[in-house]
Amino acid sequence: MAGWERKQTDTDKGIVIPDDWPGYPLDLFTYPEHYSEDLDCVYIPHGVIMDRTERLARNILEDLGDHDIVVLCVLKGGFQFCADLVDCIKVLCRNSNKTLPMRVDFIRLKSYLNDLSTPDLHIVGADNLSVLNGKNVLIVEVLSPSFPQAIVDTGKTMKTLLDHVESFKPKMIKVAGLLVKRVPSGTGYLPDYVGFEISNRFVVGYALDYNEYFRDLNHICVISDRGKQKYKI
């Protein structure tokens, strides 16, 4: 895709969490009591997420400052990260000689049933994105679809989304992803702005869900086998 090829350094991968990272014990943190037996560990605490999001906001402002952009939030899982990222950018703009005028639009990708993906990817609410024509676009996604929870580890999800956005002929496309997963069959694609590179574990919280549950967790946690069975549909 034109404009998307670029050399990436190791720092572009974000904070790398190793495969043997056990996470933090649950009793070190507060979380909704109704999930007390449904989680294995706190994988990334909320405070760490917020600190990393502020750093990404700084990088985005440094790179894209003084350009009008359309922030395209990928729902539902991306809404919290997008809101926090936009808030961080706004705060930085108030204390910087750069500014980043933003408007926010929304798109939804749906491909999961339980912890497995369905064969088809559905793009919801994307039938009329003509506003992207000639604009600088920042796609904000909490879990990068090129290293996702299930079938989209082939990179097909991101390719489908980028092809769709590209069809509206934007001036520029950048992607901010809070999480990318290391999976054997991944495409090697990385977002332009990465929060954390994580192992191939099914994580929930911070708006990431399992059948619509766990979005109310502030931390990113690893779901337990009991939790998967409890909320299975």
Active site amino acids = 153
d(CA 183, CA 147): 6
Cβ atoms 46, 111 nearer than 8 A: no
Give yes or no for a contact between 136 and 103, defined as CB atoms under 8 angstroms apart.
no
Secondary structure, 3-state, 149-215: CCHHHHCHHHHHHHHHHHCCCCCEEEEEEEEEECCCCCCCCCCCEEEEEECCCCEEECCECECCECC
CA dihedral 229, 80, 77, 231 (to 10 degrees): 10
Q: How far apart are CA 77 and CA 216, in angstroms?
A: 11
Residue 141's beta-bridge partner residues? 177
